Every structure is written in structure tokens, then in C-alpha cells.
Amino acid sequence: MQRAIYSIIFTLALPLVWIRLLWRSRKSPAYRQRMGERFGRIRVPDSFDPKRPVIWLHAVSVGESMAAAPLVSVLQAEMPDLQFVVTTMTPTGAERVRQQMGESVIHHYAPYDAPWIVNRFLAAFRPEMLILMETELWPNTIHLAHRRGVKVLLANGRLSEKSRRSYARIKGLTRNMLRLVHTICVQAEEDAARFRELGAGAPLVTGSLKFAALGVDGGADGQSFPLAAIQAWKGDRELIVAASTREGEEPAVLAAWRRCLEAFPHARLLIVPRHPERFDQVFELCAAAGFATGRRSRAESLESATRIVVGDSMGEMMEYFACADIAFVGGSLVDTGCHNVLEPAALGLPVTIGPSRFNFAAICELLENAGALRSAADSEDLGDIWSELLADRDSQKRMGEAGMAIIAANQQALALTLKEIRRLL
């Protein structure tokens, strides 16, 4: 009954969802492209072979797509007859799938969780397995997949206390949904405990797949290529990269930056907004704050007087980090739970964040306990931490080495998750 009520409410809300997509497309036109795929207009490419087995992998956006890439790569090598249909919710996630997996997979925007939409998707692709990444738990998708005999696995699962409380408000629906998931692989014991509280049987603690997506000494592909123009602009000056900043966060970053400049007046700052539709807004904000500001897209024309560069590009985060002395990871000075702290750690950078960390709580704690990460209470505290680190190269080195050691010691998640996938297949 609860799922029926949920389905009615979800279906009635679809016109509002459509309006929201159009609204978002004002700033990010990619949201208007292939919009019908989300509402049941299923796109089956000519390359799809209905006689070959299919795995449907759902990764909502960039971070989940990156974590999924090693799984897909290994399974494709082991079982070349498999076809992968990878779904995302965001255009940035779609672009990341294209960059990492190319034509080896079929990308489709995820069908919204109304029964008639999900059923059309399942009928078109007929998957044998559904792999959901992190917290992408959709009641109708899981129920209808299970009813068709599809094996369902949650990979790289995580559940913050905030999310647990939200799911607990609909405990009956949540419990019934989790019981239909064949295997729940989670990042940490804290996640397993929260899933058990909601009615999951026996979650497996496998660790984070995001460790598997990184290689020591160079990140995702084991190499690092500093951007020549950015490196030339930096010169021998100190550079802090503020990565994946969210709306409302840049003023706090700039306040910390001003405090840092008191001790290091020649230092440089590179800000990389999380969402491309905010590139112009962040550039204007930095310029209005009185800083000589440039753009990555015009890096060849950067002047020595330019103090801040806005990273208005996609897919270059590891290259940005490779140019830096210190990393700040965004989403942490506003209450959005912090973004991926592992990428800068993989390149041996000291990692700094604000107080909000629930998306990466276990990993942040692991890095912090090892001495690889420092957390600031507010922008004033962050500015003091940056100044302290810039003044102490030995501390920078120790933090960087500690982060790389943590990543090297946590590569088991991929093997454990693959073991469960093979067992279900």
C-alpha cells in the first residue's frame, strides 16, 4: 500500500519535475537534451544486441560514475559478452561516462521511478543484473526489477545519519525495498549499522570503490599532467586549489583567502565550481571582490597580476590538483556534505575541508586520523590553516605522504565488490 501511494504521488509530481528540468536548462542547456529518456521514451541504439546478457548500472552523477568505472572495466575484460547500460541523472554524469567508458557502454538517462516508465526501460533492455551506486535506492525500480528476476546489488553504499532519518520516516516502504536487494555492499561499518536499522539483512563492509578509481602518484590513470599555462601562471608562487565549490561557498573561500594573503601576499588561488552553469557567476563574484581574476578557458592570456583563476572546464580536476600546493574540497563550508577528498590525497596534497562532511564522513575521518586532512570550523579557521601549511613545507609533505599511504592500503573494495557481482551472475 505504501508503494502504491508513493507511485501515485510520484506520477502526479512528474509535470513539476519536467518544469524543474526546463528551469535548470536555462543555465545548463544539457538538461533539455534527451529529456524524453527520463519520462519513458526509451532509446535503444542499433549497437544493442538483445541476445547478449545485460547489466544495468545506475550512477547518479560524476562521483558515482568514477567509482563505477573500475567495476565496468574489470567485468568487460572478464566477460566480453556482457553489455552495460549505464544510467545517470545529470549531464555532468553523462559526460563523465562518455569520457571514462566511451562507446563500450550504452548511456541512457535514468528512467524516473514511476512504474510505467521503469517497466518500459526494463522491457527494452531486459537486464540480468541491476547495480545501484551509493544511495540510489528507488522503490519502484527495485520492486519491478526484482519481479522480473533481475539480481539487484547496491555497490559502494553509503548512508548518512541525515539520510537514515529521512528513510526512517517511510520505514515500511524502505524495509520492503531493502529486502529485495540481493546484496548491499557498503563503505564503512557505520553505513552497515544504519542500513540494518532500516531493515537490511546483512550488509557487507567492502570499503569505498573511490579508492579503486585512484592510483598513487597521479590519480585516476596513474599519471599527472600539470596544465602548462596554469603552471606558468603559478610560477614559484604558492597555489591553493578550491575544488568543487557549491553555491554560497565561494564568499567563505574568498574570506579565507584574504586572511591567507596577509602572510603570503603573492600566493594564487584556483577556484573550480562544482557546476558548469555557475562558472560565469563565480568569475563575476571574484572580480567584484576586488581580485584580478582570469579563466582557465583563457589561460594562455593570464597575466602575472592575476590573483585568482576560475577553473571553467570539465574533466581536468586532477590536472588542477597536480599544479597545487594545498587542496580545499568544496561542499564542506556549506551543508552539502563535502565532495571527493581522495583525488587530492592521491596526488600527495594536504587536504583541507570545512565542517560539513557527511557524504565522505568515514573517508574524511580515516584521512584525518592519519594526518592527511585538516578540517576548519569556518572561513577564518580555514585561512589560518592555509597560512600555517604554506609556512611549513615539511607539514605539507607529511600530510601528502600520509594520504597516499592511506590510498595504497585501501584497494580491497574493488575485489570484494566484484566477488559479490560474480556470485550473483
> What are 288's three cell numbers?
567584484
Of 276, 256, 397, whose CA–CA distance to 332 is shortest?
256
Which pairing describes strands 326-329 and 183-186: parallel, antiparallel, or unpaired? unpaired
- Do 37 and 43 meet the contact criterion of CB atoms below 8 Å apart? yes
* CA 67 vs CA 187, 274, 284, 289: distances in Å: 12, 17, 33, 37
- Do 155 and 417 meet the contact criterion of CB atoms below 8 Å apart? yes
Question: What's the sign of the alpha-carbon dihedral 163, 140, 115, 39?
Answer: positive
> What are 410's three cell numbers?
585501501
User: What's the number of CA atoms in the CB half-sphere (13 Å) around residue 109?
Assistant: 20
In 10 A of CB 77, how many CB atoms? Answer: 8
> What are 100's three cell numbers?
571514462
Active site residue 37: no
CA distance 174 to 177: 5
**Considering 64, 238, 249, 250, which one is annotated as catalytic?**
64
- Following DSSP, what letter does each residue of 198-239 receive, concatenated? TT-S--EE---HHHHT-BTTTBTTT-----HHHHHHHTTS-E
CA distance 67 to 86: 13
Report angle CA 323, 414, 107 to the nearest 5 degrees: 75
Containing 273, the helix (H) or strand (E) segment is: strand 268-273
- Do 54 and 126 meet the contact criterion of CB atoms below 8 Å apart? yes
* CA 210 vs CA 5, 78, 367: distances in Å: 36, 21, 14
Residues designated as active site: 64
